[in-house]
Amino acid sequence: MRKSLAVKLIFYIGIVLVLTIGFFAYINTKIQKKYLIEEMKQSGIQLGQIIEKSISYDMLTAQNDRIQKTLEDIGHTESIETIRIFDKEGTIIGSNTVEELGMSIDRKAEACFVCHSEEHPEEELASSDMTRIFTAGSGRRLLGIINPIYNEPQCFNASCHFHPQEQNVLGVMDILLPLDRFDREMGSSQRQIVLYFLFTFLIIAGGMGLLIFMFVNRPINRLIVGTRKIAEGNLNYRIGSHHSDEVGELGKSFDSMTAELKKSREEIEQWNLKLKEKVKKATENLELANQKLQELDHLKSNFMRKMEHGLRSHIGVIQSCVSMALKEGDSAFSDVQADLINTANRRSTMLLEVLDDIILLSYRQSAGAEYFMEHVSLKDILHKVHGDFKVQAQKKNITMDLNIPSDLSPIQADPEALEEAFSNLVNNAIKYTKNDGKIFVSVKQREKEIKIEVTDTGIGIAAEELPKIFNEFYRASNAKSNKIEGTGVGLTIVKEIVDAHHGEIRIQSELGKGSTITVLLPKST
Amino acid sequence: MELDRSSAKILIIDDDPDYLKLTTLMLKEAPYNVVTANNPKEGKEKLFSEKPDLILLDIMMDSLFDGYSLCNDIKTSKEYEEFKDTPIIFVSAVKKATGSRFAFDLNEQGLRGPDDYVDKPAQSEDLIARINKLLNT
**pLDDT per residue as tens digits for the range A92-130:** 888 888 888 888 877 666 666 666 766 666 666 666 677
Residue A407 sits at φ, ψ, to 5 deg, of -95, 30
Which residues of chain A lie closer than 8 angstroms to B125, CB-CB? 391
Residues 6+ apart with CB under 8 A from A438: A398, A399, A400, A401, A456, A457
A465 touches chain B (CB under 8 A): no
Which residues on B lie below 8 Å from A298 (Cβ)? none
Task: Provide the CB-side half-sphere exposure for B66 (13 A, CA).
Answer: 12
User: Across chain A, what does the average pLDDT equal?
Assistant: 84
DSSP B30: T
Q: What is the pLDDT of residue A119?
A: 61
Nearest-CA distance A518 → chain B (Å) = 23
State the pLDDT confidence band at B110, using cuts at 50, 70 and 90: confident
Q: Percent of chain B having pLDDT more than 90?
A: 18
What fold, for A5-186?
Answer: Beta-Lactamase (3.30.450)
Give the helix ranges, DSSP H, for B3-65.
17-29, 40-50
Count of other CB atoms within 10 angstroms of residue A476: 23
Residues 328-357 of A with CB under 8 A from B: 352, 356
B95 touches chain A (CB under 8 A): yes
Residue B107 contacts A, CB cutoff 8 Å: no
What total number of domains does chain B contain? 1
Residue B18 forms contact with A (CB below 8 Å): yes
Range name among A246-255, A321-330, A430-439 with the lowest pLDDT average:
A321-330
Which chain A residues are within 8 Å of B92, Cβ to Cβ?
Answer: 309
Residue A170's nearest CA partner among A121, A225, A99, A232 is A121
What are the domain boundaries of chain A? 5-186, 235-366, 370-522
Chain B residue with Cα closest to A356: B95
- CB of A395 closer than 8 Å to CB of A509: no
For residue A113, the model assigns a pLDDT of: 65
B57 vs B37: CA distance, rounded Å = 10
Q: Which of A304, A308, A352, A363 to mutate to test the interface with B (most CBs of B within 10 A)?
A: A308
Contact (CB<8Å) A317/B99: no
B79–chain A nearest CA distance, Å: 31
Give a three-class secondary structure readout of A40-95.
Answer: HHHHHHHHHHHHHHHHHHHHHCCCHHHHHHHHHHHHCCCCCCEEEEEECCCEEEEE
Residue of B nearest to A421 (CA): B97
Q: How far apart are CA A8 and CA A4, in angstroms?
A: 6
SS3 A423: helix
pLDDT band at A520 (very low <50, low <70, confident <90, very high): very high
> Would you call the peptide bond into B31 cis, given omega within 30 degrees of 0 as the criterion?
yes
> Is residue A510 within a helix (H) or strand (E), and if so which, with residue range?
strand A504-510
Contact between A308 and B95 using a beta-carbon 8 Å cutoff? yes
Q: Does B125 touch chain A (CB under 8 A)?
A: yes
Q: Using a CB-CB distance cutoff of 8 angstroms, which residues of chain B are in contact with residue A316? A: 19, 93, 120-121
Amino acid at the residue A492: T
Instruction: Dump pLDDT digits (tens) for A394-418.
Output: 999 999 999 999 888 888 998 888 9
- Among the CATH numbers 1.10.150.20, 3.40.630.30, 3.30.565.10, 3.40.50.10090, which is that of A370-522? 3.30.565.10
Q: pLDDT value at position A394?
A: 92
User: In chain B, whose CA is at the least distance from the CA of A357?
Assistant: B98
The dihedral sign for the CA sequence A111, A113, A114, A116: positive
Tell me if B121 and A320 make a contact (CB, 8 A cut-off).
Answer: yes
Of A308, A313, A359, the CB nearest to B19: A313
Tell me the residue range of the domain where B77 lies.
5-136
Contact of A301 with chain B, judged by CB distance below 8 Å, is answered with yes
State the pLDDT confidence band at A331, using cuts at 50, 70 and 90: low
CATH of residue B115: 3.40.50.2300
A443 in Cβ contact with A422 (< 8 Å): no
* Residue A363 contacts B where some CB pair is shorter than 8 Å: yes
Handedness of CA B36, B39, B45, B51 (dihedral sign): positive
Half-sphere exposure of B98 (CA within 13 A, CB side): 21
Q: Residue B25 and residue B29: Cα distance in Å, rounded? A: 6
Give the pLDDT of residue A255. Answer: 86
Mean pLDDT of B15-19: 87
Mean local confidence (pLDDT), A42-71: 84
> Per-residue pLDDT for B99 more than 50?
no
Q: How far apart, in whole angstroms, are the C-alpha atoms of residue A36 and residue A183?
A: 11
Partners of B19 on chain A (C-beta within 8 Å) are 313, 316-317, 320
Residue A498 pLDDT more than 90? yes
Reported ipTM: the value is 0.76
Is any Cβ of chain B less than 8 angstroms from the Cβ of A292? no
CA–CA gap between residue A93 and residue A309 (Å, rounded): 166
Q: Amino acid letter at A227?
A: T
> Whole-prediction pTM value?
0.49
Give the whole-angstrom CA distance, residue A301 versus residue A299. 6
Do A284 and A320 meet the contact criterion of CB atoms below 8 Å apart?
no
pLDDT at A438: 94
| Chain mean position to CA A265 | 24
Which chain A residue's Cα is nearest to B20?
A: A317
Report pLDDT for A281: 92
Query: For B53-95, what is each residue's pLDDT tens digit?
Result: 999 988 877 665 678 888 888 888 888 888 888 999 988 877 6
Q: Does B117 touch chain A (CB under 8 A)?
A: no
pLDDT of residue A147: 83
Under an 8 A CB cutoff, do B93 and A313 touch? yes
CA–CA gap between residue A472 and residue A364 (Å, rounded): 12
